[in-house]
Amino acid sequence: MGIDDFRLARFLPYRLAVLSERISRRLSAIYGAEAGLSVAEWRVMVHLARCREVSVREIHNCVNLDKSRVSRAVTRLETAGLVQKTGSPTDQRLLAISLSPEGWHLLDRIVPPTVDYEARLLAALSDADCAALDTIIEKLHRVLDADPEARPRSVLDLPQPPDAGDASAPNDATIDRTP
Amino acid sequence: MGIDDFRLARFLPYRLAVLSERISRRLSAIYGAEAGLSVAEWRVMVHLARCREVSVREIHNCVNLDKSRVSRAVTRLETAGLVQKTGSPTDQRLLAISLSPEGWHLLDRIVPPTVDYEARLLAALSDADCAALDTIIEKLHRVLDADPEARPRSVLDLPQPPDAGDASAPNDATIDRTP
DNA sequence: TGCAGTTTGTTGCATTTGCAACGATATCGT
DNA sequence: ACGATATCGTTGCAAATGCAACAAACTGCA
């Protein structure tokens, strides 16, 4: 079997990339049409909706975006009036970023159709498929987790324990005490 | 259920993007270390290995890369001596792009470890998982196929019919007579 | 034949990206 | 208390990207 038997179309990393990008592009047509949100901005805003007031680093740790990408996304969002940047009183380095009222309104309009589209995708899958997909994604991640050469996984992307004692606060991020 | 119940970490498009990017980055460390290949260049070369002599458009149609991205990738590869650009004799617009001997040598060194890594990923999956994954990917693609707003799928990314009458030529691309 | 319309590959341009370096602040160790 | 170290967010820069415009080459139909 020579090199030329290699089939891109059967190559798992390629297949995932293609599917993922196709979905991403379709989605960004949804939340990009309303406001001109990029993927980065979308992730930041959605994360803020859950975590209310977080720093750049926390966003960076949670939503798989480069530090500078988050920084720039936040700047753009602030200029657009969708987000507020306040300096933390306790730590002068930190930034307290939160959604503005306009930001919330925008999310109100943008999240539902986005979720609908996800539902449309999921509707094509059986319950067994969905379960299998969870398993598969997790298994693949674990291979990468075990590989020192691979980029580590964000905390929030770890499988969530089935939510034992809910503390009424959506603090997925507070787990973040690694250093 | 408010907007703030939305969980990025459970959002399928996000999860696919994260997994896919993690894998891609790890992989490009493999074929990027040997030569400085980018994803685009990698896809182009691998495609050339199968199809021998193709035009920019064909590559573009087959490996999910923008026309200009292919064009530039080919230019870089040519400069690096990995690829040859010859004008087609029959159609002066077309370019006949093919791997140079050096290109083949590079692939010899690069494809095996890449395939090994894929194997490492697949090893984490059971046979049932693999089958399920195939199904799932295909089902999700079909949702997008049915969606006029979504970018169409490349011909080569369609599921391959189990290869009825093999014409001894690896012409995945020849199916391409859509216009 | 001749001319409108298409196709092919490249390029200009504005934007995005990742990485590293940086200044500012905080923390730790002694 | 003070200097070495670490952390936070921003920015410079070079490379990559997507889109549209483009020239050159082909096609088709009158």
pLDDT digits (tens, 9 = 90+) for B78-92: 999 999 999 888 888
Contacts of A20 in chain B (CB under 8 A): 13, 16-17, 19-21
Tell me phi and psi for residue A105, to 5 degrees: -60, -45
**What is the average pLDDT across B116-122?**
96
Does nucleic acid strand D have an atom less than 7 angstroms from the CB of A173? no
**How is residue A53 written in tokens?**
């007031």
| Local confidence band at B4 (pLDDT 50, 70, 90 cut-offs) | confident
Cα separation, B62 vs B72, in Å, equals: 16
Cα separation, A96 vs A86, in Å, equals: 5
B87: helix, coil or strand? Answer: strand
Q: What is the mean pLDDT of chain A?
A: 88
Q: Could you give the C-alpha distances from B9 to A64, A154, B18, in angstroms and in order? A: 10, 10, 10
Q: pLDDT at position A76, please?
A: 95
Using CA coordinates, name the residue in chain A closest to B145: A22
Q: pLDDT at position A167, please?
A: 41
Domains and CATH numbers, chain A: 10-124 (1.10.10.10)
Question: Which of A58, A115, A133 is the best residue to mutate to test the B interface, defined by the most B CB atoms within 10 Å of its own CB?
Answer: A133
Q: What percent of chain B has pLDDT above 70?
A: 89
**How is residue B43 written in tokens?**
């896809």
**How is residue B93 written in tokens?**
């617009």
Q: What's the one-letter identity of residue A72? A: R
User: Cα distance from B89 to chain A (closest Cα, Å)?
Assistant: 25
Q: pLDDT digit string (tens) for B135-172?
A: 999 999 999 999 999 999 988 888 876 654 444 334 43
Does nucleic acid strand D have an atom less than 7 angstroms from the CB of A75? yes
Question: Which of A19, A31, A60, A105 is the best residue to mutate to test the B interface, defined by the most B CB atoms within 10 Å of its own CB?
Answer: A19
Q: Is B171 on the interface with A (CB under 8 A)?
A: no
Q: pLDDT digit string (tens) for A72-123?
A: 999 999 999 999 999 887 888 899 999 999 999 999 999 999 999 999 999 9
Q: Where are the beta strands (DSSP E) in B13-161?
A: 83-87, 95-99
Residue B95 reports pLDDT greater than 70: yes
Cβ neighbours of residue B97 under 8 Å, at least 6 residues apart?
B48, B53, B54, B55, B56, B59, B74, B83, B84, B85, B86
CA atoms within 13 A on the CB side of A39: 16
Does nucleic acid strand D have an atom less than 7 angstroms from the CB of B75? no
Q: pLDDT at position A162, please?
A: 60
**How is residue A83 written in tokens?**
């987000």
Of A55-64, B86-95, B167-176, highest mean pLDDT: A55-64
**How is residue A174 written in tokens?**
């507070």
* Closest residue by Cα to residue A141 from B16, B30, B6: B16
Q: Across the interface, which of B118, B128, B139 has its CB nearest the CB of A13?
A: B118
Q: pLDDT at position A168, please?
A: 38
B140: helix, coil or strand? Answer: helix
Q: What percent of chain B has pLDDT above 90?
A: 74
Q: Is B139 on the interface with A (CB under 8 A)?
A: yes
| Local confidence band at A165 (pLDDT 50, 70, 90 cut-offs) | very low
DSSP state of B54: B
Q: pLDDT digit string (tens) for B10-25?
A: 999 999 999 999 999 9
Residue B73 reports pLDDT greater than 70: yes
CB contact under 8 A, B129 and A151: no
Q: pLDDT at position A179, please?
A: 34
Cα separation, A143 vs A178, in Å, equals: 21
Cα torsion for A119, A121, A127, A133, to the nearest 10°? -120
Whether B161 contacts A14, CB under 8 Å? no
Whether A63 contacts A154, CB under 8 Å? yes
Q: What is the mean pLDDT of chain B?
A: 88
B95: helix, coil or strand? Answer: strand
Cβ neighbours of residue B80 under 8 Å, at least 6 residues apart?
B35
Q: pLDDT at position A135, please?
A: 96
Q: Across the interface, which of B47, B107, B133 has its CB nearest the CB of A8?
A: B47
Contacts of B168 in chain A (CB under 8 A): none
| Local confidence band at B69 (pLDDT 50, 70, 90 cut-offs) | very high
Q: pLDDT digit string (tens) for A123-162?
A: 999 999 999 999 999 999 999 999 999 999 988 888 876 6
Whether A22 contacts A101, CB under 8 Å? no
